Amino acid sequence: MHRRLLALVAALSALPLALAAAPAAHAADPTTMTSGFYVDPDSSAKRWVAANPGDGRASAINASIANTPTARWFGSWSGTIGTATGAYTGAADARDKLPVLVAYNIYNRDYCGGHSAGGASSPSAYRSWIAQFAGGIAARPAVVVLEPDSLGDYGCMSQAQIDERESMLTGALAEFNRQAPNTWVYLDAGNPAWASAATMARRLHEAGVRQAHGFSLNVSNYLTTAENTAYGNAVNRELSARYGYTKPFVVDTSRNGNGSNGQWCNPSGRRIGTPTQLGGGAEMLLWIKVPGESDGNCGVGGGSSAGQFLPEVAYKMIYGY
């Protein structure tokens, strides 16, 4: 019997009969409903290793990257989104593992940075997409990182565009609360080098983080876990002082083993970080960005497109050179 079912039976048997029929929404902890994190069997690293078994780099990439639990990103490339999230979380659930998903399709995505520009065609299209995303997960246990960069990417946006974005995020969180009760959603909060803790706390609050399980840090970036933990704690101090609540946070450690050299777009000399785990100074340390996937046509990924798997970059990242 799945651990999730055993936990549910135990919880219901301890409740008064009147309450047992209506368990409280979001009482569940997806980390205790599963037995460890899900390894994406179709990640870019897995696919490359399978297609290049004779390559001298394949063994190291397989051992150090391809078999570490890493998030799967969902966007316009994912086809019918509810079908895609349902299939992915269903496959993880069948193995009693916890999947990590990234929702990356907000209208005007990467509006100021541009390397990953795109997203839904309108705010209403995004609302429909994210509702189907949540509906596909349904009651299965999952972790979702919601829209990386969306709260950091304000530098060139008008107040009307910012208000529109915050409305989309608040609406997204409401959909997960309504449709995916066993999902922990982390609203992305950029990284310590992007906005002050006070600024990010205000943006998180205005985008509805009170409705989320928590917030995520360092997605696709390189700053150390210690730097991110200090920043997350500072954001929580601001949330507490201004609004009277705090939230758990997770840190993307996939590429922060050597810290940052100040560049964010395919910098050289970076290294993989602590593998996906519970704890570690944050609620979880997660590999959210696949090591070796390009940040765009820049740095050591010159000539590549964002998301393209670059085996030489992945190989060097294992050893930190």
Per-residue model confidence as pLDDT tens digits over 198-221: 999 999 999 999 999 999 999 999
- Between residues 201 and 118, which one has the greater pLDDT? 201
Distances (CA, A) of 122 to 148, 158, 164, 167: 18, 16, 10, 13
Type of residue at 270: R
Percent of the chain with pLDDT over 90: 86
CA gap 292, 191 in Å, rounded? 20
CATH 3.30.365.10 corresponds to the domain 37-319: no
Give residue 27's pLDDT. Answer: 55
Q: For the chain, report the end-to-end CA distance as a whole number of angstroms.
A: 46
Give the per-residue pLDDT at 125: 98
Query: Sorting pLDDT into bands at 50, 70 and 90, what band is 6?
Result: very low
Q: How many CA atoms lie within 13 A of 176 on its CB side?
A: 28
Domain residue ranges of the chain, discontinuous segments joined by +: 37-319
Share of residues in the chain with pLDDT > 70 (%)? 92
Tell me: the pLDDT tens digits for 247-302? 999 999 999 999 999 998 999 999 999 999 999 999 999 999 999 999 999 999 99
Q: What is the pLDDT of residue 24?
A: 37
Q: Are 126 and 105 in contact (CB under 8 A)?
A: yes
- The predicted pLDDT at position 272 comes to 98
Residues 6+ apart with CB under 8 A from 156: 111, 112
**Is 48 annotated in some ligand binding site?**
no
Catalytic residue among 40, 149, 153, 252: 149
| Mean predicted confidence (pLDDT) in 160-179 | 98
For residue 97, say whether it is annotated as part of any ligand binding site. Answer: no
Which residue in 93, 153, 188, 295 is the catalytic one? 295
- Rounded to an integer, the average pLDDT of 71-75 is 98
Helix, strand, coil content of the chain in percent (nearest 5):
40, 15, 45
Q: Is the dihedral of CA 118, 130, 216, 93 positive or negative?
A: negative
* Residue 3: predicted pLDDT: 53
> What rounded mean pLDDT belongs to the chain?
92
The per-residue pLDDT for range 11-64, each reduced to its tens digit, is 444 443 333 333 334 558 999 999 999 999 999 999 999 999 999 999 999 999
C-alpha distance from residue 54 to each of 137, 292, 293, 312 (Å): 37, 19, 21, 15
Strand (E) or helix (H) holding 173 = helix 159-179
149 in catalytic set: yes
Rounded Cα gap, residues 235 and 238, in angstroms: 5
Q: Please check the confidence at residue 172 and state whether its pLDDT lies above 80.
A: yes
The number of angstroms, rounded, from the C-alpha of 241 to the middle of its chain's C-alpha atoms is 27
Check whether 1 has a pLDDT greater than 70. no
User: Is residue 221 part of an annotated ligand binding site?
Assistant: yes
Do the beta carbons of residue 289 and residue 255 sit within 8 Å?
yes
The pLDDT value given to residue 113: 77
- 93 as an active site residue: the answer is no
Position 18 scores a pLDDT of: 35
Cα Rg for the chain, rounded, in angstroms?
A: 19
Q: Which pLDDT does position 116 carry in this prediction?
A: 80
184 is in an annotated binding site: no
Query: Is residue 194 a known part of a binding site?
Result: yes
**Residue the block writes with tokens 């205005």:** 206
Please name every residue paired with 216 in a beta bridge, in sequence order, or none if there are none.
188, 250
Residues near 83 by beta carbon (within 8 Å), at least 6 away in sequence: 136
Buried b / exposed e over 130-151, threshold 16 CB at 10 Å, is bbbbbbbbbebbbbbbbbbbbb
Burial (Cβ within 10 Å: 0-12, 13-18, ≥19) of residue 158: exposed
pTM of the predicted model as reported, rounded to 2 decimal places: 0.91
Q: Is 129 annotated as a binding residue?
A: no
